[in-house]
Structures are given as C-alpha cells and as structure tokens.
C-alpha cells in the first residue's frame, strides 16, 4: 500500500455564525487505525464531510498523500484513494451481497467516463470480480454472496458496507460509527476484520465510534473533539488516563475498557 494517508490542518467549518469545527488538525496515516471521538454534536461527522468534500471548510486544508485536496470534489478525492462509510447503512436491498460489493469497484473503474457505466471492458469485469471476491473473503462474508442484502441482519449489513468500501481499493477509509447496531460479539469480530485490513493491506482507517471498547482495542492514536474544538490527542492509554477527557466525555465508562 502506497501513500502517506490523510492530514487535516487547522480545519474550521462554519454554518452561518455557528462554528461546527474550530481549528482542528489530525493525521490518519496509512497502516494505522486512528480514532476520532467526542460527544454528539462535537463535530466528528462535519470533519468527515470536510475531508471527503461534501462540505467546503471555511479555513484550513485537507491533504491526501501530501497533496492538497481541499477544493476537489468528492469523486476526485475518491479516485485518489479516499473512501468512506456513513452512520446509516446504505445498501441496495434488492441486489445480492456480491452485487452491492461490486459497486464499490465499478464506481472507481468508471470514474468520470459515463460510457464506462454502461459498457464495461472485459478487463474491467475481471477486475470487479476479483476485487469483489477478495473483499467478501476479507470480511468473512463470502458465503453470503448470493443473498439479497435486504434479508440480512444489521451485523452482516455492516460487513457488506465495509466490503463494498474495500472493493473500491481505497488506501484511506473514513468509517462513521461502523459498529452501530452490533452486539458485543459482532463488535469483537468487526475489530478483528479492521485489524486484518490494516495488517494485510496497509490501509489507513479514521474511525468515528461511540463503542469505547472497540476504539481502545483497535486504535493506535485517538483524537478527542468537544463542541468542535480539539480537546486532547494521544494513545488509548493516554486518552483513558486523561482527566480532561474523562470530565468532558468518557466519565467512569472508560474504567471498563482502559
């Protein structure tokens, strides 16, 4: 896996007179899982939206592999290797699992050429099939390939969504609350898959998550946002022992996972 990963420099996002994110910087290099935590309304999803081009920052810069992508459209950033999932699982319920996963690769191959959305080259079809099979295997859902996505429980739907992103061959992934709706066992299995993605592919993952057990388990570095402002950053141990973080967000909850 090549590339330096994602970097955000002094990012500020305003909505009218309200400041949603205020001078926030982070690094999410390839080959590492980086956490972004904070209470609801802290600015985490806004940060994701600015990183992926859905929102234009008021000030600051977004860099991918050292290159400024702040003014690029979302599709252009995706073609450069930046992928994302959302809080709400968005699958095509009438399609099979394999068809849903294949879309992740097909979109990247078609890029900005509308004709390739309609007529695929033979080499493209082979690339899609290979990427789909690899992503299904990596997420442990190959046996579900022919199932309709709409028939799956939440845990499997989350894995299909992750597999679709992995099929797109992104080297940086932004995952927005990927364990939402999962039970403890499913969350543990999800953690294993995330570590495998990083170990085998060298992918960089920026993880927004409220499941603190998952965050403390898989993240090498964690950033904490509070009301749009950077509150703290450090290793899981440093975050867990920070009185500032405890008072603002974690409270006694961290005692069970630190």
Looking at the structure, tell me whether residues 113 and 77 fall in a common domain. no
- 197-211 residue pLDDT tens: 999 999 999 999 999
Q: Is residue 211 part of a domain?
A: yes
Would you say residue 122 has pLDDT above 70? no
Tell me the β-bridge partners of 148.
96
- The pair of structure tokens assigned to 140 is 């442990």
Instruction: Write out the H or E segment, with its range, that includes residue 92.
Output: none
Q: Is residue 187 part of a domain?
A: no
Query: Burial level of 150, CB count in 10 A (0-12/13-18/19+)?
Result: exposed
Looking at the structure, tell me whether residues 21 and 34 fall in a common domain. yes
Would you say residue 256 has pLDDT above 50? no
Looking at the structure, tell me whether residues 118 and 149 fall in a common domain. yes
- 54-97 residue pLDDT tens: 999 999 999 999 999 999 999 999 999 999 999 888 899 999 99
Q: Is residue 182 part of a domain?
A: no
pTM of the model: 0.90
Per-residue model confidence (pLDDT) at position 110: 55
Q: Is residue 194 part of a domain?
A: no
Q: Is residue 244 part of a domain?
A: yes
- State how many domains the chain has: 2
> Band of the pLDDT at 108, cuts 50, 70, 90?
low
Looking at the structure, tell me whether residues 26 and 66 fall in a common domain. yes
Minimal CA–CA distance to 206: which of 232, 228, 177?
Answer: 177
Average pLDDT over the chain reads 91
Looking at the structure, tell me whether residues 91 and 77 fall in a common domain. no
Q: Is residue 239 part of a domain?
A: yes
User: Per DSSP, which regions of 120-214 are E strands?
Assistant: 172-176, 204-208
Looking at the structure, tell me whether residues 152 and 106 fall in a common domain. yes
Looking at the structure, tell me whether residues 98 and 74 fall in a common domain. no
**Percent of the chain at pLDDT exceeding 70:** 90
Last residue of a domain, one of 120, 151, 169: 169
Looking at the structure, tell me whether residues 56 and 105 fall in a common domain. no
Looking at the structure, tell me whether residues 90 and 77 fall in a common domain. no
Q: Is residue 186 part of a domain?
A: no
Looking at the structure, tell me whether residues 91 and 60 fall in a common domain. no
User: Quick one: average pLDDT of 187-199?
Assistant: 96
- The pair of structure tokens assigned to 222 is 């964690």
Q: Is residue 217 part of a domain?
A: yes
The CB density around residue 94, as the number of other CB atoms within 10 Å, is 10
Looking at the structure, tell me whether residues 77 and 100 fall in a common domain. no
CATH of residue 23: 3.40.50.300
Contact 52, 77 (CB under 8 A): yes
> Band of the pLDDT at 113, cuts 50, 70, 90?
low
Domain coverage including residue 133: 85-169
Place of tokens 């205020």: 22
- 141-186 residue pLDDT tens: 999 999 999 999 999 999 999 999 999 989 999 999 999 989 999 9
* Distance of alpha carbon 156 from alpha carbon 91, whole angstroms: 11
Last residue of a domain, one of 121, 151, 169: 169
Last residue of a domain, one of 169, 186, 215: 169
Q: Range with the lowest mean pLDDT among 14-28, 45-59, 98-112?
A: 98-112
């Amino acid at each position: 896996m090549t590339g330096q990963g994602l970097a955000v420099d002094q990012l500020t996002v305003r909505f009218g007179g309200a400041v949603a994110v205020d001078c926030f910087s982070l690094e999410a290099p390839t080959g590492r899982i980086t956490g972004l935590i904070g209470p609801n309304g802290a600015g985490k999803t806004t940060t994701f939206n600015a990183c992926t081009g859905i929102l234009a920052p008021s000030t600051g810069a977004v860099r991918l592999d050292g290159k400024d992508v702040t003014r690029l459209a979302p599709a252009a950033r995706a073609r450069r290797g930046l992928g994302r999932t959302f809080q709400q699982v968005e699958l095509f319920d009438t399609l099979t699992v394999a068809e849903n996963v294949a879309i992740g690769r097909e979109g990247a191959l078609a890029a900005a050429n509308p004709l390739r959305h309609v007529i695929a080259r033979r080499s493209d079809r082979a690339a899609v099939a290979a990427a789909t099979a690899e992503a299904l295997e990596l997420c442990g859902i190959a046996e579900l390939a022919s199932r309709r996505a709409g028939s799956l429980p939440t845990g499997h739907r989350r894995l299909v969504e992750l597999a679709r992103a992995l099929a797109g061959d992104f080297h940086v992934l932004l995952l927005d609350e990927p364990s939402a709706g999962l039970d403890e066992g499913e969350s543990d299995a999800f953690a294993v898959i995330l570590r495998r993605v990083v170990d085998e592919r060298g992918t960089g993952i920026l993880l927004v998550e409220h499941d603190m057990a998952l965050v403390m388990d898989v993240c090498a570095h964690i950033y904490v946002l509070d009301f749009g402002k950077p509150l703290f950053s450090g290793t899981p141990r440093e975050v867990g022992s920070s009185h500032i973080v405890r008072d603002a967000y974690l409270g006694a909850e961290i005692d069970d996972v630190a």
